[in-house]
Amino acid sequence: MSDLSGKILAGRYEILEKLGEGGYAHVWKAKQLQPEGFVAVKILLAEHAGDPDLVDEFLREAGLYVEFRDDPHVVTILECGTDPETNTHYLVMTLLDGTVEDEVKAGGALDPDKVYRIAEHMGRALNSVHGKNLVHRDVKLSNIMHLAPSDRYVLTDFGIGMVQETAEKTANTQDMTSAVGTWSYASPEQIQAKNKKDIGPPSDFYSLGVALYRAATGEYPFPPNFPQVMIDHVNTPAPDPRAKNPAIPAGLAQIILRCLEKNPADRYASAAEYLEAVKHARAGGVLDVENDGAAVGGAGGLMSLRNLLVGGVALLIILAAAGFGLFGGGKSRKITIDSIPTGATYKLYQGEKMRFSEPMREGTVPAQIEGLEPGAYAIDLVLEGYFPVDGHVITVEAGGQEIAPIALDKAQSLQVTATPVGAPASLTWLEGDGASYAARPTPATFEPLHLGQHRLEVTHEGFVPYMDTVVIGDRNQAVSVKLEPTHRVTLWVFSDPAGAKLAINGALVSQPTNCEVREIPSGPQTFRLTREGYAPLDTTVVVNAVAAIDTLHFALTKRTTPPPPTEPGLTIRSNPSGARISLDGKDTGQTTPHTFSEYVPGAVKLALTRGECYRRYEATVQVAEAGAVHEAALSGYPAKSYTISTSPGYVEIYVDNGSTPVNASGMPPWKVTLSCGTHSLRLRNDKANPPVDVTLKYAVKPGSSVSQLVLNWKEKRVIERN
């Protein structure tokens, strides 16, 4: 917009100087000619004046502000209209003394009492705005004005405002560097929003948290460097403002940090709740000099001299009672933390370990710790060559007690070689959390591994896939696999009784059994047979990898009778195989397929588990005198979609040895779909100094509410967010 200084608008407003600017309008200071006075005039940019929808939207803003005409903490609209001579669309607001941003730029951090006053007045303003089912969406210090005579703070709008949906459709969304001031206050959901409906009242509290942080410290929580500031708002936890300004009361810091929670649900649920928190924190942290007199004490714990004198006797009684154990509590004398084997480094947390918990003690075990209050504590243990322990909970009792050493699980490794060389191998732990290791070319080393059964799969185009169960013992192991070339097989499929419909790998065969099927690849194939009056049969069979002709026989089971055994004993099979078998609630230590030669006729409760990526299977099997066979089809969990981003800065993301980075184009965060199991996330930036090349592991677990992943290559960890 050209310089309007000196021009007369609508015959009665002399434009003096620009006060602020936004994406679709600028605000000017003006002199009202009759009656004389000074006002603020918001003028729609000329490039938007030809958009009738935007003009209507702009003028409708005045109608929204009319709702707050009598609100002392929301700016008042005096007039709106269109200058007929210049076709300039404008609205006129009361002109206040100056912005809080101006004050911070001039003098740095504000006094905590003043920050509390801003917090309270902005809470009242948002209570009014949200009460009308509106969202301001541009709360920042340059939109908070100060009325000095009454020491009153007023929320105005010099930016994107409450009604800019049309303007958003026409704005240049690629070049946002000029809007860095606004993006420095943007909530995570505001950055990721696809339309205005994605931004609710919690977004205003986040922006207010940034404003209060800046007012209290003189700095932003995240450096206002575009586009890194957007990535930080989405991914990086807000720093404690007391690290910048120790004079900030603890209560005020807690309010700021709650406003800056990444998850909108973790912020204040309403302006009323927020105002109650401000009132409570202010009463306990900053003295109301007008009522209570001079202040004593340090930051975060100020109280009036009168209150200190009145409460002094009670305080002494409480301290004395605590010291002599009159309340039945008392501190623990001593506990010892140790690991098996010993020598692990530890971190001790008070209470349950949460996402942002800070350790209260850390060091190397064995460690003797004194002076702990009775209650729950969490321990992390890390020892090279062993799996880490994360958040192990212990309970400390009054007087101290023995804490049993925590056994660490030694990490093992498996070396896999294959013929042909380079055939990709993958590994899945069939016990515990079902951790999986993404496919990698052979020869390959898998580590760290838990003890127990793992499913090894080796595949290569043109060869029959190899699948087997490998038991990892207490020493490192090696497996050599030779793949057989794939060829086309003529398959004869028989069923008892005949006439069953046959589907191979989901494709229905044109004729029922007994039938000939040509050109079937050798190797594992999935078969489904269905016939009226009989139970469906689902199974996986390895088609002969050497012969040109293979013959398969399937026995169908009538729905009204138990399945006949194919051999003496109780036989359990599953698709896929490798499921852990439990009978009558007891783990047998066996995996499918397996035949139990010793069995008792009657009903047996069967349970099959195959890591976390398959649902638990349960059934009651009727075992006859001659035995029984039970076929189980396991149900897997679907893949999960995530938004994914990197920190700090930009790096390329390669998933499971892919050749193309998932973030090759577009702004963060990026979308990626991951199947259940463990994935390899490689982070690279060859142009960085020094270059970045880090590989992280991430396990996708069924039922998890995690929807955002932040890949922190510097700390070599994946940060989960809901």
Number of domains in the chain: 7
303-312, 642-651, 705-714: segment of lowest average pLDDT = 303-312
pLDDT at 253 over 90: yes
CA distances from 384 to 59, 380, 406, 409, 444 (A): 66, 14, 15, 11, 21
- Measured in degrees and rounded to the nearest 5, phi and psi for residue 78 equal -95, -35
For residues 145 and 276, state if they share a domain.
yes
With H, G, I as helix, E, B as strand and everything else as coil, classify residue 220: coil
Residues in Cβ contact with 313 at an 8 Å cutoff, skipping those fewer than 6 apart: none
Q: Are 561 and 535 in contact (CB under 8 A)?
A: no
For residues 626 and 507, state if they share a domain.
yes
With H, G, I as helix, E, B as strand and everything else as coil, classify residue 201: helix
Alpha-carbon gap, residue 711 to 649, rounded angstroms: 10
pLDDT at 204 over 90: yes
469 lies in some domain: yes
Alpha-carbon gap, residue 611 to 578, rounded angstroms: 10
pTM of the model: 0.41
Q: Single out the residue in 80, 95, 110 at which a domain terminates.
A: 95
For residues 230 and 304, state if they share a domain.
no
Alpha-carbon gap, residue 599 to 602, rounded angstroms: 9
156 lies in some domain: yes
For residues 109 and 254, state if they share a domain.
yes
Alpha-carbon gap, residue 359 to 378, rounded angstroms: 9
Alpha-carbon gap, residue 79 to 265, rounded angstroms: 38
Give me the pLDDT at residue 394, please.
Answer: 85
Which CATH number goes with the domain that contains 252?
Answer: 1.10.510.10
Which is nearest to 337 in space by CA: 394, 409, 408, 410? 394
For residues 367 and 237, state if they share a domain.
no
Residue type, 313: V
Which is nearest to 362 in space by CA: 341, 379, 339? 379
Q: Are 720 and 235 in contact (CB under 8 A)?
A: no
pLDDT, tens digit, 9 for 90 and up, residues 347-388: 988 877 765 567 888 889 888 888 788 888 889 888 888 888
For residues 200 and 220, state if they share a domain.
yes
327 lies in some domain: no
297 lies in some domain: yes
pLDDT at 407 over 70: yes
For residues 75 and 131, state if they share a domain.
no
Which is nearest to 61 in space by CA: 44, 73, 48, 47? 44
For residues 155 and 101, state if they share a domain.
yes
Q: What is the DSSP letter of 695?
A: E
Give me the pLDDT at residue 226, please.
Answer: 67
Residues in Cβ contact with 200 at an 8 Å cutoff, skipping those fewer than 6 apart: 135, 189, 264
pLDDT at 214 over 60: yes
| Residue 205 binned pLDDT confidence (cut-offs 50, 70, 90) | very high
329 lies in some domain: no
How large is the average pLDDT for residues 435-452?
A: 85
278 lies in some domain: yes
pLDDT, tens digit, 9 for 90 and up, residues 446-466: 888 888 778 888 988 888 888
Which CATH number goes with the domain that contains 675?
Answer: 2.60.40
| Strand partners of residue 680 | 697
How large is the average pLDDT for residues 16-33?
A: 80
Alpha-carbon gap, residue 187 to 23, rounded angstroms: 18
For residues 500 and 559, state if they share a domain.
yes
With H, G, I as helix, E, B as strand and everything else as coil, classify residue 73: coil
Residues in Cβ contact with 93 at an 8 Å cutoff, skipping those fewer than 6 apart: 39, 40, 41, 42, 65, 75, 76, 77, 78, 156
Residues in Cβ contact with 721 at an 8 Å cutoff, skipping those fewer than 6 apart: 235, 262, 263, 706, 707, 708, 709, 710
Residues in Cβ contact with 709 at an 8 Å cutoff, skipping those fewer than 6 apart: 642, 643, 644, 645, 698, 718, 719, 720, 721
Query: How many residues does this entry show for the chain?
Result: 722
Q: Single out the residue in 457, 482, 507 at which a domain terminates.
A: 482
pLDDT at 237 over 60: yes
Give me the pLDDT at residue 433, please.
Answer: 61
| Domain extent for 382 | 335-407
pLDDT, tens digit, 9 for 90 and up, residues 484-535: 888 888 888 888 889 999 999 888 888 899 999 988 888 778 888 899 888 8
How large is the average pLDDT for residues 663-685?
A: 78
Mean pLDDT across the chain, nearest whole number? 78
402 lies in some domain: yes
328 lies in some domain: no
For residues 170 and 273, state if they share a domain.
yes
Element (DSSP H or E) covering residue 44: strand 36-44
How large is the average pLDDT for residues 583-604?
A: 83
Alpha-carbon gap, residue 343 to 336, rounded angstroms: 13
For residues 375 and 274, state if they share a domain.
no
Q: Are 404 and 337 in contact (CB under 8 A)?
A: no
Q: Single out the residue in 61, 95, 129 at which a domain terminates.
A: 95
For residues 270 and 305, state if they share a domain.
no
Higher pLDDT, 707 or 3: 707
pLDDT, tens digit, 9 for 90 and up, residues 143-201: 898 887 677 888 887 433 443 333 332 233 333 333 334 678 989 988 887 666 778 89
Which is nearest to 425 in space by CA: 387, 454, 385? 454
